[in-house]
Structure 1
């Protein structure tokens, strides 16, 4: 029997949904399953309603489901809000001694979470471990796997804490087995673990930067990008990198520009509001032709907006940000694995073409966890694009901004012997000195833009699944991939002739490829987490083709395959 199981843990901020969710996720992954997990949380330290959702499958999964098998309710509000999502045979686990829910039909499993925590662990803080054990008891899942995960999760806090968590989890597991045997779901039999990683989008972006040789990262904390600097700061001493929390985003990007100019691979990470502050310095990157990688993790705006929710509303802003015209590349990874490799490629292109490369993430990708196989670091290739001392010695009159057929000037570093490296934020001549010569200014602008031709040749076209010959095509970018891919699979099973065209590298725009694909279909629908259909606008501008319709969602939450299918059926006629 195929496995497709969804668990949701809900409660107030501060009740430990993330701990329960992460321990459950690790336990399922350790048992050989694939999973996708996402957090939905309010911008507050205490109170409100938050939840952590986990989808477990026997094959790779990249999207959430709207239907829930097990709901762990840490408060009454969770039951009231999420009960309609419960499957026919789904169950709700709650503490009936502290949460009054009546009447109590069979699918409500009252477990004394706090009492068992005090009895077995000596403190109500172990209630979360009781809840984890109860959830696995419903599935008759191997307890020894959970015990091992708890030992790893709490090992640094001492043996007593480890044992108390294990005992509390065992109490919850046994309580379900002894009192609700008839309410158990189909047993979830673990398989042989193939040592998959459980990784978030932010962790994958961070690991990609480390693998690419990033040695300087600056940021001002801003959700949902903060996890990147905290992860890198935790690895800084071990891997010889600097993770600098700047006083603001303006300082952060200028620090990174300075580090890159001096010769180290550097990047910044922020969200839309922080990127707004970085825009002037982005122009400095363009003018001085200094390589830089920027991670822009989107959330709903404008202004502060919904700080802890997801969106895809910054695409056109990022594409046109800063005054003047200069080349840039824009990536939008679809999965955590894509995120890792996109950073590696971003650094190589940034240095080869001496341009900014912007990676567009969002809260859904940044904070979601998924399983994937370990990254093959043998495939990581680092291309610095810096001329060697031997090559530099052969150049009699080195000019940092020399005119070349490709637009790429020879890049030396200020530390290299015998040469002075000059640049300027004003328009400059080939040597890098300020100039007001309009003929030189014109040639310099053309030189910089000439790099777009080479940069365009490096861009991968959008992925088309399963083929280009369908009558209907869904179009998406970035983190919408999982929901779209699943929607297409379901629709094909229903007899709909449909395909997916999904962008992970957006700019320079692959005009010829997209034009060819759209010329073959009868209907096309752009699916985006924004209110205006920004990718649809770009497609129209670059190809002259207008999509048939748009499926847009801008409430701060990600797409599900069910939502996409429902909206498509309304629109396609």
Structure 2
């Protein structure tokens, strides 16, 4: 019997309630005190097409999927056909056989099948076929030993706004599912979920954490245009920002959104927008304007599979080059990359402080596998947040005719006033300009202005979020990655450690300005460096090689099918390389590094 450790996949057609069912069960697991990670894989249309929702639940925190699925709740045959090979040996499948039958081609002798006529029970016993999903929740709860009252309570809350009749139908549906298991399912599932203290934890999506971070950091204006998977941020801010004096605008397009964001910031309001690849492309010229007029903005980039429209609901890490290098000309910019839901909150806060203190555009780079996934996380520490508005002048103290908006300074940052400050009238042109904002093409001024703006990148380095170092700092088998790959890599480390292979992992949280010193020291003290990323061209690996030079011991681990890594995929890649190693050191035996300051300079070591 496996206790308090399960990964469940709910699958069916888009619009049939599979995602809602998964959300409810995830909340039920959280109420039972389990730690969760969820992942949604759905088509880019409202109805029709296969969709699935995966919940990983256990007693320990995980930030990604397991190698295999333990249980499947399949609302149609297509779900079984697509995912039957992902089921762990001795796992089980709940299948709605009301209209479709399982074929011999999909059956496996090492998997238990519970064929339950969900739709038939819903229609004949409850008079409403729509509640078949709720019946499946009752079936699952009974098979894994969940407290049915937890599920009943959640269903009641979910549907109470629709009236007592709907609530009663859904509660009865849960009871019908449990009754079916008692009467027809004699084979134990092999899984048992036992409630633990819930604790002071949250279950939230990455995009929700970004919204909280923006609001707590003082963001009071957002302009955006709906685009998957960033729309959640716009919707979250629209629901919550007005309660705190904020304004949220759904612009007519991304060009309008970025320019509204710049305008609001110019007026003195902390401002942001949120988009994905296609929208980011349209915002490129506006971001250049923000850079040259030194106006702080925050751009949330929720990456998806491209190019062009690509796969809007699938994950990818192929926008890194675009965020760092896009646009004509050169401007200072910052790219931050959270790796967990919790980090999504804290790095969003950091983004606003960096943007305003150094008067630059700051990107928070998330991705579909993180921004639309849910995790259990400790309660966010709102009280720990500090707001640093930099050299903002709001109460006068400047003299008209003497104030220079773009004054040269030691750190590259100039005093900034907002419209209405007495004596602070100035020009802020997109053309090259003098320290007073007057347009000029003078060669000396151009050189000084470019150097002034770009010097901010060096001035801010001590304040940028440092890389996290996980694992054995002396290990010679090393990983580098960012974003949603934090979870799969960390779990890979645990699994390799169990096999006697020590590893270390540098999780990059600032991607630009690139942490050259830390990365250079990290890779040169390893025998093998595995760069794990979700794109085909190795954008992160190329960035590393740009600062380190040729490295024959660097190995790419890439995935670009729109889905996140599972640990087994990384483990297989590592073991394939190590199998060809010729010495014990190359195979992963620990050695003494050159020194902490050379192996992990400036690196923040964290526990998993």
TM superposition score category, shorter chain reference: over 0.9
Partner of 1:492: 497
Matched, 1:475 2:480: yes
Q: Aligned match of 1:297 in 282, 302, 305? A: 302
Partner of 1:70: 71
Instruction: Map 1:101-500 onto structure 2 (within 5 A).
Output: 101-102=102-103, 107-119=112-124, 121-390=126-395, 392-393=397-398, 397-500=402-505
Instruction: Map 1:13-28 onto structure 2 (within 5 A).
Output: 13-28=14-29
Q: Report if aligned partners of 2:403, 2:423 keep a CA contact under 8 Å in 1.
A: no
CA distance in 1, matches of 2:342, 2:444: 46
Question: C-alpha displacement at 1:15, in angstroms?
Answer: 1.2
Q: Aligned match of 2:571 in 560, 565, 568? A: 565
Partner of 1:34: 35
Question: C-alpha displacement at 1:292, in angstroms?
Answer: 0.5
Q: Secondary structure at the match of 1:310?
A: coil
Tell which deviates more after alignment, 127-136 or 105-114. Answer: 105-114
Q: Which string of whole-angstrom CA distances, capped at 9 and with x for unpartnered residues, describes residues 413-454 of structure 1?
A: 112233213211011111112112221121111111111111
Partner of 1:534: 539
Q: Report if aligned partners of 1:9, 1:71 keep a CA contact under 8 Å in 2.
A: yes
Q: Report if aligned partners of 1:311, 1:530 keep a CA contact under 8 Å in 2.
A: yes
Q: Report if aligned partners of 1:459, 1:507 keep a CA contact under 8 Å in 2.
A: no
Q: Which string of whole-angstrom CA distances, capped at 9 and with x for unpartnered residues, describes residues 297-345 of structure 1?
A: 1112111111111100111121011111221111111011000111100
Question: C-alpha displacement at 1:502, in angstroms?
Answer: 1.1
Q: Report if aligned partners of 2:469, 2:505 keep a CA contact under 8 Å in 1.
A: yes
Q: Report if aligned partners of 1:399, 1:431 keep a CA contact under 8 Å in 2.
A: yes
Partner of 1:554: 560
Partner of 2:11: 10
Q: Report if aligned partners of 2:215, 2:241 keep a CA contact under 8 Å in 1.
A: no
Pick closer, same or farther for the CA change 1:346–1:366 going to 2, 3 Å. same
Pick closer, same or farther for the CA change 1:552–1:431 going to 2, 3 Å. same
Question: C-alpha displacement at 1:161, in angstroms?
Answer: 1.8
Q: Which string of whole-angstrom CA distances, capped at 9 and with x for unpartnered residues, describes residues 437-488 of structure 1?
A: 2211211111111111112121233211113211110111111100000001
Q: Which string of whole-angstrom CA distances, capped at 9 and with x for unpartnered residues, describes residues 148-207 of structure 1?
A: 211222222223222221111121122113321323333211111114211111111111
Tell which deviates more after alignment, 116-125 or 451-460. Answer: 116-125
CA distance in 1, matches of 2:7, 2:13: 20
Question: C-alpha displacement at 1:387, in angstroms?
Answer: 3.4
* TM-score normalised over the length of structure 2: 0.91
Q: Report if aligned partners of 1:20, 1:132 keep a CA contact under 8 Å in 2.
A: yes
CA distance in 1, matches of 2:179, 2:426: 70
CA distance in 1, matches of 2:331, 2:188: 63
CA distance in 2, matches of 1:210, 1:412: 23
Tell which deviates more after alignment, 530-539 or 393-402. Answer: 393-402
Q: Report if aligned partners of 1:389, 1:417 keep a CA contact under 8 Å in 2.
A: no
CA distance in 1, matches of 2:273, 2:195: 41
Instruction: Map 1:40-55 onto structure 2 (within 5 A).
Output: 40-55=41-56
Q: Report if aligned partners of 1:329, 1:508 keep a CA contact under 8 Å in 2.
A: yes
Question: C-alpha displacement at 1:386, in angstroms?
Answer: 4.4
Alignment root-mean-square deviation, CA: 1.7
CA distance in 1, matches of 2:527, 2:241: 52
Aligned length: 573
Question: C-alpha displacement at 1:394, in angstroms?
Answer: 7.4
Q: Secondary structure at the match of 2:451?
A: helix
Q: Report if aligned partners of 2:225, 2:250 keep a CA contact under 8 Å in 1.
A: yes
Question: C-alpha displacement at 1:528, in angstroms?
Answer: 0.4
Q: Which string of whole-angstrom CA distances, capped at 9 and with x for unpartnered residues, describes residues 521-554 of structure 1?
A: 1111100001111111111112325352100001
- Structure 1 unaligned blocks of 5 or more: none
CA distance in 1, matches of 2:395, 2:69: 64
Question: C-alpha displacement at 1:71, in angstroms?
Answer: 0.7
Q: Report if aligned partners of 2:393, 2:418 keep a CA contact under 8 Å in 1.
A: no
Q: Report if aligned partners of 2:44, 2:313 keep a CA contact under 8 Å in 1.
A: yes
Tell which deviates more after alignment, 38-47 or 113-122. Answer: 113-122
CA distance in 1, matches of 2:5, 2:144: 13
CA distance in 1, matches of 2:39, 2:431: 46
Partner of 2:509: 504
CA distance in 1, matches of 2:216, 2:466: 24
Pick closer, same or farther for the CA change 1:247–1:390 going to 2, 3 Å. closer
CA distance in 2, matches of 1:167, 1:146: 12
CA distance in 1, matches of 2:337, 2:245: 28
CA distance in 2, matches of 1:268, 1:369: 22
* TM-score normalised over the length of structure 1: 0.97
Q: Which string of whole-angstrom CA distances, capped at 9 and with x for unpartnered residues, describes residues 42-96 of structure 1?
A: 1122222111111111011111123222111110111112112222221111222
CA distance in 2, matches of 1:212, 1:248: 26
